[in-house]
Copies of this chain bind each other. A is one copy, B any other.
Amino acid sequence: MLRALICGATGYTGIELVRILSSHPDVTVTRGSSLELPNHKMSQVLSFIGGENDFSLLTLEEVLDNPDADVAFLALPHGASALAARHLLEAGLKVIDLSADCRLQDPNVYAEWYGDHKAPELLARAVYGLPETKRESIRGADLVANPGCYPTTVILGVAPLLKVDSVDTSCPISDSKSGVSGAGRGGKLTTSFCEAGGGCKPYGVISHRHIPEMEQELSSLGGSPVKVRFTPHLIPASRGMVSTIYLPLRKETTAAQLQRVYEDRYASEPFVRVLPHGIFPDTAQVRGSNQCHISVEVDQRTGWVVVMVAIDNLVKGASGAAVQNMNLMLDIPETVGLSSLPVFP
């Protein structure tokens, strides 16, 4: 049994890692760190943890001093993550960083959106962990930058079109909607039940930090610069994310042609499901699972393509993807621990 540690085990992505790994046959969580609750057992944080699933929470320093594990998941704030990653790599662990610290290859771009990087030497070493586009590089990596939730939807939604002549992919618009868990675990007025419940609101308009990540990966995959117009929205749901992506046609194309492009592109992907034409993705049908549902439609009247992509932001958008990356890095079959169906309704 391989041993995993989770830095930041009591946030939502940390808790989700515990849930997923609890049914993984080859890996067990042996310890975690928590800023708020060090020196507790995980079962004291959540009533449903116990028995074999329980483990000790330490301070981050204690965990780093004595990692004693094979693989580490970093569910830490931006900035803190880079320093922990450097330390754990030196200690010989495989590292999967769920923060943004290792996602951007160019330290200047990082600085522009996040501030100075604490361990810039990591940027060249890290592999961007979207298996559907970088599977082989992830297999050999010891440091994987787990993608952001929004970028996961936008990259998976746009990637198949990058080589399609009839669609202009230079500047897609992504109008994205996310459940509240994406804002993290904590007490904030904006994510309180009464303020976030029953409403829908855009936020981070034109300025969300996930933009450079989408642009870096799509530009790299397509071989030419891509800019993304991106508006995130908060919806009154705990989990779930759907991105509705708009791209102009360059010349006439049918929905059936693009349907085939998507089906071909994702035919062998275990977690990406291209829905039949006319069926649209619903976050309720991916909740709790690592599935990603995609639909494509063409508006002949106006000459645009609409791509819709749904995931559970905490699974395929975070912790499920992290375990998928872990499997690849540790030479475990990719779907192990990740094939459970969504919890519906």
Contact = CB atoms under 8 A, between A and B. Distances in A.
B194 A12 contact: yes
B175 A345 contact: no
Contacts of A291: 48
Interface residues of A, number: 85
Given A47-B273, A191-B194, A343-B288, A177 B235 contact: yes
A341 B177 CA distance: 27
Given A205-B306, A237-B236, A48 B286 contact: yes
Contacts of A297: 205-206
Interface stretch (A65-73, A101-109, A182-190): A182-190
A287 interface: yes
A181 to B, nearest CB: 5
Contacts of A231: 175, 244, 306
A12 B47 contact: no
Interface string A34-61: 0000000000001111100100000000
A192 B191 contact: yes
Across the A-B interface, the 4 shortest Cβ-Cβ residue pairs: A199-B284, A194-B345, A175-B175, A201-B282
Given A197-B237, A201-B282, 18 more contacts: A15-B344, A47-B285, A48-B291, A180-B197, A188-B192, A191-B193, A193-B193, A197-B236, A198-B198, A198-B238, A198-B345, A199-B237, A199-B285, A200-B240, A200-B282, A206-B297, A231-B244, A236-B237
